Structure 1
Amino acid sequence: MASQLPPFPRVVFTVLEPISLISGAVAPLISPDWFITEQIVSPETLHHTDNARLVALQLGNAYGLLFMVGVAVLYTTSELKVVRSYLWALWIADLGHIGLTAYLLGYDRFMAVAEWNAMTWGNVGATAFLCLTRTAYLLGLFGGVSSPASGPKKIQ
């Protein structure tokens, strides 16, 4: 199915998004404390509990799952309906991801874009980019889905 997507969303959904998901899976495995600290930048030194570390590791595991589901859906199905349903589910999750990040950052920190760290750019900026790309695709702004090469059409 991936080969049937228009070029721009194909690159975004089958190359860039999987890379970002693997990054989200590996980062908390390498350093859960760093991963937790970077979620919301604070001037004070934070001490993390095992509960917080476990949640970070579980989030990393969820990113790994999303990576595998995405690759499985986009590279194995030939059903456009399945791909569209998958993208709708991700679109809804994108809104939740951005909304929850905005809620916990608070209005002032959320609006202080110049002060965002790389994690905030990933949580908000990259997710917004993916959401907008999904929106454009689902609205048909990239054109139709190309059909796989088939032989000559029969004349009736």
Structure 2
Amino acid sequence: MASILPPIPRIVFTVFEPLSLLAGFLAPILDTSYFVSAQVPSRIPSIPLTATSQVLALQLGNVYGLLGMIGVGVLYFTSEAAVVKNFLLACAIADVGHLWATYHVIGHANFIDVKNWNQLAWGNIGVTAFLLLTRVLYLSGAFGRDRVVRSARKAL
């Protein structure tokens, strides 16, 4: 299990993030209408659920599920530091894109209005910003050095 990661990033990326991605996978499946309408604050006018928004929401949920499975596959089953770092760098870049997309649609005032965020805003902004910060801190070495994993096989 991501044995090279220091304790804090290991907990964040191998426990917290997969659970949050599972929630992102299940949310549009369990209540597509709410998932779509709650993406923006209620002050922003929205249109009724269309076939297009429904399929996009379900596809987004599928992408969350895929990202969760890729993350588990990479972080639980590799001891290669370069693979882990490149995966987390790619996730950090995607975090920036996710935050930008949310900011672009809901606007500056709603983006910073933390007291009025709904649970999806907390996921789209709060959790994403937390994961981005943790990724940047890990990649910059703020949590300490990666652990060296010794192979179970003896050198011949």
Shift of 1:114: 1.1
Cα deviations across residues 11-47 of structure 1 (Å, max 9, x unaligned)? 0000000000000001001111110011002256741
RMSD (Å) for aligned C-alpha atoms: 1.6
The Cα offsets for residues 113-154 of structure 1, whole Å up to 9 and x where unpaired, read as: 211111101100000000000000000000001123579xxx
Moved more, 129-138 or 34-43: 34-43
1:132 aligns with 2:96: no
1:122 matched to which residue of 2? 123
| CA offset digits 1:82-105 (Å, max 9, x no partner) | 110000000000011011101101
| Within-5 A mapping of 1:35-54 | 35-43=35-43, 46-54=47-55
Number of the residue aligned with 1:26: 26
Does structure 1 retain, via aligned residues, the 8 Å contact 2:41–2:110? no
Partner in structure 1 of residue 15 of structure 2: 15
Unpaired runs of 5+ residues, structure 1, are 152-156
Give the match for residue 154 of structure 1: none
In the alignment, is the contact (CA less than 8 A) between 2:3 and 2:79 conserved in 1? no
Aligned residue in 2 for 1:2: 2
* Cross-structure match for 1:66: 67
Residue 112 (structure 1) shift: 1.6
Structure 1 residues 77 and 48, CA gap change in structure 2 (3 angstroms): same
Q: Percent identity?
A: 49
Q: What is the CA-CA distance between 1:5 and the residue it aligns to?
A: 0.6
Query: Relative to 1, partners in 2 of residues 1:45 and 1:123: Cα closer, same or farther, differing over 3 Å?
Result: closer
Q: How far off its partner does 1:79 sit?
A: 0.9
Deviations 1:40-90 (A, max 9, x none): 022567411011000000000000000110000011112110110000000
Runs of 5+ unmatched residues, structure 2: none
- Give the structure-2-normalised TM-score: 0.91
Q: Specify whether residues 55 and 150 from structure 1 end up closer, same or farther in structure 2 by C-alpha distance, changes over 3 A only.
A: closer
